[in-house]
Structure 1
């Protein structure tokens, strides 16, 4: 598996990346960041110019104060010349106004850049995860995906909204202050330079200790979200199996782990922040002593000493802000690693480079030497061959794990075969234009998912531009019209979240209507009648006959009553077809299907 896959799917649980893996992850994150910043280059350059000028204006203050004390006051006292002092005061006011205006402009510019990047990133994550294959979504839990779109993007938002401001302004401020310090008094500048040594050691210590802790924080946060989402999503199973107490303990352990990690982060800052203050105060004391002695000796002007003290105090103030930036940075960097891991994932069923158009299909489906394995050591379909003529209805029967659903997923191109090919009208599905493939082949599964919206909107999913008459016709064709009309708002009834206002059987009928409206040439029903009770199943049998007419159909069902409408029955065991014939012929025989049919008949007695 690629580094993206390792970090994206399994990496949530890891903190022990090798140096090579860590380097690749950093490079991947930087590539993503670069691609996000590229469209904003002009605005970024303008922002840099604005912040440089505004920082210079802010740093000019103490130097102007020193010049006013050392030059302006003597001129005023000795010759009553107020012009130097007046010019200095005017310059001080202008610098303050310019600095304030430019800071406001800088804040607006950075906000626009931040929102543009977040919009781009949020859209990329949604569109990319939507395009990824079932293999990814079956291994990468929904909680993790939600974590990418929520807490991880929030961390990046915090960095862009405030952290970058702290870094850029703080770093520039410290550089400009250091330059101004040397210009005002070289000795004080050297003292300040000497204070950088312990500051560098403290910062490096903080960086090494915090990097691992912040990654652990992201992992702990993601685990919390995963646990919460999965519990709420599976709340019916939780209630049914009385899992509340176990969930309480599991969630409590995760909360405790999250608290412990954050406690260690706080302890780290409890050492780093006071350390910064101590270094700053010691440096200020040394500058005061050294400067005071020289003022007493007459080798340093009092204004220069005051400016040096102001600059020393100002130099260490941004260091604390930059420490908070590092907090945001580590959190955002860990989040960016996870998001870039998802964006680096390649679709398991990529779109063809040179797609073949198939405007009208007859519906002939063939499996030629198909072999498929979810994992290399577990082959599901070994060297599978099958011919399905256009317009034939096939029923797939067999025990659980025989490979029936895998066959259906390959036919719908949810997966690609490990070797061999699946064709529609002699065109490899891997070469077929995605639009034509989705129009030609439709799969209805046991989980009849309904989206928030009206009944009509859910049926129209199969044909977004369908008229109301077409929607009603589709519902009538599969026997769903009567129950829809009995709903409070008829076809305009909001089905609520995931179809909570209709029963499981009614949801399945709506999914049949959706498929009928889509009018595919190949229809796959994967346990599509499993949610129906016996009366509902009998009601839908006639609708199924209408639904399957004049198209190639594959029915996967354990209920043999559904199989009766098939032209041909395939009995599968361990990824192979062990029986092939009409329902009547197989029932009359002594094979596996006859045994299944006899057992089913006995269950009805």
Structure 2
């Protein structure tokens, strides 16, 4: 099944090690993503590259001008000729000025490119994860999604803001420096080229060892964020079960793991930076020593020797910056791999290629030979057939794990069946236009989620263009109007932080009003009355009897009082319907529902 592929991709993304084939595929995927992000910015990229090249060339000209000023200008001064010295000085100032202006230009351009890429990428991640099916979000924790939008994007931002310009500028500077040194004094250039051998060995050693460590650092950072987000999200459960101490130990272990990984990274720099300095200083010493002997025998001028020493030293200056770039590059590369992995995920419930319109659904729901499994080794619904006529209210009853919620998710098309078809008014849900599907079928779950904003805004989610009178009518229908009016600002009250200003039962009533305002052809209530007290539940039941008239309704409830308003009761066990009839018929019998009803009545006594 496609959902299995999706889950394995999500889980595999957090591994530290990959096979060569996987690594190659991941790198290709990341490069393709980066290419698509940079494609609209090609013009700015070329202008930025030109500014970096010219500014690097201007800066590299400095030592050569100094050499000219010393070797040509000083002898000319003896003859009262100021031109060579003045030319060298003015040219040095001019190249410095040009270099400074161009540096400011490419810094500004690179910042614009960075922000454009980040905005594009951040928007892509948000829109794509929102489009992905419920199966993805049930397997991919919220903490990991937040990690993609925070620490991973920050790593990419740091690379784009400074890292890339440091790399390109450093490479250009080193190339121009080597070329100028070879032109100015070939023997000194050969010393520099010889130093590239140990430099290459040291750089390769650093690259191979740091690549793994930086990826582990990103994974350790993501785990920290996930632990923090999940702890804060579930803080009520943490407090209720006194889990603070265990969380402290778990978080401490993650912090220690993160510290250990970063210590290993710093250990690599502790070898790389001194090694780099040793190679650079050795090259400068050899250039100075050999050049000194050549100055003595008259084969080399003093100014050229000074320029050669400066060029040799300057050649190694960008290397530390490039090592820091590699640090940022590895972090950003690992982050881009994870983000590209999320963007590669495909909905397990895809939109139809040729959608069928259903403007006015009547509400007939059919299951024809439906088989469904979350995992390959266990069917939740084996060969399931069912017809729910339009306007009928059915109640699904059964023990936990019987398949009731799965049935509701298939009707809502949160999942597609593994085999068979689920249809609405004869149209396969897989062919139905998404807008018509969401307008025709609404599901109210046990978790009454309220978004930041006013009570009126939350009720109007299912019908954004609803008037205040329509919103109030929906609230009255479910018995929510009185408590809403009692809030400080009535319907304009901000529910604040997932509905923290209202009780659980009140949140559920608001979600009921939201669903009723949407006026769906099929309404699914999945344990939707579980948060209501007895008076509120009775009030909602009274409203339901009126509002569910001429509407198909599927009610999943353990409270059998809620089941009493149904036209038909389906008792499910192990993904099969074992009893089917009106509440009165099943209560009068001796089956499973009659036993459940008797037990419920005894509990009331």
Q: Secondary structure at the match of 1:499?
A: coil
Which deviates the most, 592-601 or 109-118?
A: 592-601
Question: Deviation at 1:82?
Answer: 1.5
Equivalent positions of 1:256-267 (< 5 A) are 256-267=256-267
Question: Deviation at 1:546?
Answer: 2.7
Is contact 1:4-1:344 (8 Å) kept? Answer: no
Deviations 1:66-93 (A, max 9, x none): 111112222222x322122222222211
d(CA) in 2 for partners of 1:359, 1:68: 85
Q: Which residue of 1 aligns with 2:550?
A: 550
Equivalent positions of 1:489-508 (< 5 A) are 489-508=489-508
Is contact 2:7-2:139 (8 Å) kept? Answer: no
Is contact 1:26-1:337 (8 Å) kept? Answer: yes
d(CA) in 1 for partners of 2:454, 2:367: 39
2:52 maps to 1:51 = yes
Q: Which residue of 1 aligns with 2:10?
A: 8
Deviations 1:284-325 (A, max 9, x none): 000001111111110011111111011011100000100000
Q: Which residue of 1 aligns with 2:105?
A: 105
Equivalent positions of 1:371-520 (< 5 A) are 371-520=371-520
Q: Which residue of 2 aligns with 1:32?
A: 33
Is contact 1:4-1:342 (8 Å) kept? Answer: no
Aligned pair in 2 of structure 1 residues 72, 4: CA closer, same or farther (>3 Å)? farther
Is contact 2:63-2:311 (8 Å) kept? Answer: yes
d(CA) in 2 for partners of 1:289, 1:167: 31
Deviations 1:441-473 (A, max 9, x none): 100000000011111111111111111111101
Is contact 2:6-2:136 (8 Å) kept? Answer: no
Q: Which residue of 2 aligns with 1:310?
A: 310
d(CA) in 2 for partners of 1:598, 1:517: 36
Q: Which residue of 1 aligns with 2:524?
A: 524
Is contact 1:7-1:338 (8 Å) kept? Answer: no
Q: Secondary structure at the match of 1:375?
A: coil
Aligned pair in 2 of structure 1 residues 192, 6: CA closer, same or farther (>3 Å)? farther
Is contact 2:55-2:98 (8 Å) kept? Answer: yes
Question: Deviation at 1:3?
Answer: 8.2
What is the aligned length?
A: 603
Is contact 2:462-2:517 (8 Å) kept? Answer: yes
d(CA) in 2 for partners of 1:220, 1:62: 46
Deviations 1:173-193 (A, max 9, x none): 000100011011000000000
Q: Secondary structure at the match of 1:125?
A: helix
Q: Which residue of 1 aligns with 2:281?
A: 281
d(CA) in 2 for partners of 1:16, 1:112: 35
Q: Secondary structure at the match of 1:377?
A: coil
Deviations 1:123-173 (A, max 9, x none): 011111111111111111111001000000000000001111110111110
Equivalent positions of 1:554-573 (< 5 A) are 554-573=554-573
Question: Deviation at 1:355?
Answer: 1.1
d(CA) in 1 for partners of 2:5, 2:417: 23
Equivalent positions of 1:84-483 (< 5 A) are 84-483=84-483
Is contact 1:61-1:92 (8 Å) kept? Answer: yes
Deviations 1:547-567 (A, max 9, x none): 312211100011111111111
Q: Which residue of 2 aligns with 1:19?
A: 20
Question: Deviation at 1:4?
Answer: 7.2
d(CA) in 1 for partners of 2:61, 2:353: 60
d(CA) in 1 for partners of 2:445, 2:518: 15
Question: Deviation at 1:264?
Answer: 1.0
d(CA) in 1 for partners of 2:399, 2:60: 78
Q: Which residue of 2 aligns with 1:81?
A: 81
Is contact 1:3-1:24 (8 Å) kept? Answer: no
Is contact 2:216-2:261 (8 Å) kept? Answer: yes
d(CA) in 2 for partners of 1:353, 1:330: 39
2:80 maps to 1:64 = no
d(CA) in 1 for partners of 2:400, 2:6: 33
Aligned pair in 2 of structure 1 residues 349, 3: CA closer, same or farther (>3 Å)? closer
d(CA) in 2 for partners of 1:409, 1:292: 83
Q: Secondary structure at the match of 2:394?
A: strand
Please, which runs of 5 or more residues in structure 2 have no aligned partner? none
d(CA) in 2 for partners of 1:546, 1:256: 60
Deviations 1:184-221 (A, max 9, x none): 10000000000000000000000011111111111111
d(CA) in 1 for partners of 2:497, 2:411: 30
Is contact 2:6-2:346 (8 Å) kept? Answer: no
Please, which runs of 5 or more residues in structure 1 have no aligned partner? none
Q: Secondary structure at the match of 1:507?
A: helix
Q: Which residue of 1 aligns with 2:591?
A: 591
d(CA) in 2 for partners of 1:88, 1:255: 57
Is contact 2:167-2:322 (8 Å) kept? Answer: yes
Q: Secondary structure at the match of 1:497?
A: coil
Is contact 2:13-2:341 (8 Å) kept? Answer: no
d(CA) in 1 for partners of 2:598, 2:143: 44
Question: TM-score with structure 1 length normalisation?
Answer: 0.98
Is contact 1:4-1:341 (8 Å) kept? Answer: no
Is contact 1:3-1:21 (8 Å) kept? Answer: no
Q: Secondary structure at the match of 1:464?
A: coil
2:580 maps to 1:580 = yes
